Structure 1
Amino acid sequence: MVWMVNQQVGRGRSRTWGVALLCWLFIMLVTPKIPLSYRNHLYADMRNFVGVPNTLNVITNFPFLIVGVLGFVLCLGGGSFFNIRLPGEMWGWLLFYGGTASVAFGSAYYHLRPDDNRVLLDTLPLIPCIAIPIMTFLFPPKYTHSRYWLWTVGVFILAKMEALADMKIYRANNYIISGHSLEHLCSAIAPVLVTVMLMHRSCRFPRYSNFKVQNGNS
């Protein structure tokens, strides 16, 4: 019975993700491009070091690459390190870590020359910030340590607050690092929290194979 419930929850979750993806693609295709004010592409720290425009806003994306690549490699090891038991789940986490690594390239590419044509690549990290709380409240957790999802949302909220206080933070620390650069570093903590969750979690429900073994021994 527990196994059947898990299967139904898994199918419902897959359908929800599929519908959400289709809706997102539809909106992206039919929505006309809305030009942003040039002020949206002006940041507090626009210093140029060693020939790299907006240097700190570019290099502070590097942690995304580290976390993404490490997580991707660990998932490729069969999923045993993260207690991943289903092939479909492993593919999902491979996509997650691959997307995390791609954030480093997308955001860095945007900050090298901020404009309307590149801004989408910088806003992709907002997607998990929206999806995580929705999935957390819609579906019961199958694993322990699910509170890490909420902590991840909290980190994203803190990062957005740092971005809004870009210039204020920059002035407060005597022009060392801006709020937007701190937003990048803070956002990179989110996949780290998810990784810690994967390392320590355990399944809340017995596996179907365990039921078969128990029934065979009885």
Structure 2
Amino acid sequence: MQLAHARPNIALYLAAFLAAAMLLAGPILQPAGYHAFADERSLSGLANAADVLSNLGFLIIGLYGLLRVRPTRLAHTMFFAAILLTAFGSSWYHLAPDDTRLIWDRLPIALACVSLLAAALQDAFPARFAPLPTLAALCALGVASVFWWSATGNLGPYLLLQLAPLVLIPVLQWQTGAPHVQRRAFGAAIGLYVLAKLSELADGAILSAIHAVSGHTLKHLLATLAALVLARMIAARY
């Protein structure tokens, strides 16, 4: 019984540590030239075609998830809705990249991250985290993190909400003895997402090396695969 009462504290302490680390790091600014992506090739008049069209996978996965998930599972429904909106927001941004359009790219990404965390908290501690209040509070934080960046230039809160699910969800799954198939799926999704972020950092280098695709386009494809792994895992539960 004591272990059961202590379980929430591990994730809580980790969350507090991540928040403290963000505050100690100070403002995290968007790199200069962020909007200068390597692949500017057009296709039939479509600007930045590869970075735009590589979002189609999010559209498909979002629709698939919304058709499979139970409407009563609010956090999973929001996750798939956010994946669907990512297809539109990211495509809109990449047509003509600038800070204003980037808001509509980052908003659904933030919502997808916090929705996954809300679902994990509800699975782990259903008596402590009511579905609607938990999801609403975390979504509010996600939206606020994007507008905080837009107003101040500080990416810290937005990046924290991207990192938190990667760190906290595996801990929650381990603490509560989640089925191994769910833990393996989330581990695979984390691996793909990390590869996606590394590809993003090597945008031009990857295009120079293989010519067919840039690092940012590859980021979209790897993130799509991560979403697919999660979609199949979530769908299998219903």
Q: TM-score, normalised by structure 2?
A: 0.61
Q: Which structure: larger Rg? A: 1
Counterpart residue number, 2:209: 172
Quick check: 1:61 aligned with 2:44?
no
Counterpart residue number, 2:184: 147
**CA displacement, residues 119-168 of structure 1 (integer Å, 9 cap, x when unaligned):** 23334536634223212214524444122112111111100111111111
Distance 1:151 1:50 in 2: 36
Counterpart residue number, 1:42: 36
Distance 1:155 1:189 in 2: 7
Counterpart residue number, 1:192: 228
| Residues 117, 141 of structure 1: alpha-carbon distance in 2 compared, 3 angstrom cutoff | farther
2:77 to 89, 94, 98: 94
Distance 1:36 1:132 in 2: 23
Secondary structure at 2:100 match in 1:
coil
| Residues 191, 52 of structure 1: alpha-carbon distance in 2 compared, 3 angstrom cutoff | same
Quick check: 1:70 aligned with 2:64?
yes
- Structure 1: which 5+ runs fail to align? 24-31, 79-86, 203-218
| Residues 35, 150 of structure 1: alpha-carbon distance in 2 compared, 3 angstrom cutoff | closer
Does the CA contact (< 8 Å) of 2:51 and 2:216 recur in 1?
Answer: yes
Counterpart amino acid of 2:58? Answer: F
Does the CA contact (< 8 Å) of 2:65 and 2:235 recur in 1?
Answer: no
Quick check: 1:117 aligned with 2:100?
yes
- Structure 2: which 5+ runs fail to align? 20-26, 114-161
Counterpart residue number, 1:183: 219
Instruction: Please give the residue correspondences for 1:121-132 in structure 2 after superposition, counting only pairs within 5 Å.
Output: 121-124=104-107, 125=109, 128=113, 129-130=162-163, 131-132=165-166
**CA displacement, residues 19-69 of structure 1 (integer Å, 9 cap, x when unaligned):** 99xx9xxxxxxxx9x7763x1100110112122111110010010000010
Name the stretch that deviates more: 119-128 or 93-102. Answer: 119-128
Counterpart residue number, 2:119: none
How far did residue 191 of structure 1 move?
1.5
| Residues 116, 43 of structure 1: alpha-carbon distance in 2 compared, 3 angstrom cutoff | same
Distance 1:68 1:44 in 2: 27
Distance 1:148 1:141 in 2: 14
Does the CA contact (< 8 Å) of 1:133 and 1:153 recur in 2?
Answer: no
Distance 2:216 2:82 in 1: 21
Does the CA contact (< 8 Å) of 2:68 and 2:235 recur in 1?
Answer: no
Does the CA contact (< 8 Å) of 1:143 and 1:201 recur in 2?
Answer: no
| Residues 196, 141 of structure 1: alpha-carbon distance in 2 compared, 3 angstrom cutoff | farther
Q: TM-score, normalised by structure 1?
A: 0.66
Query: Which protein is richer in helix relative to its size?
Result: 2
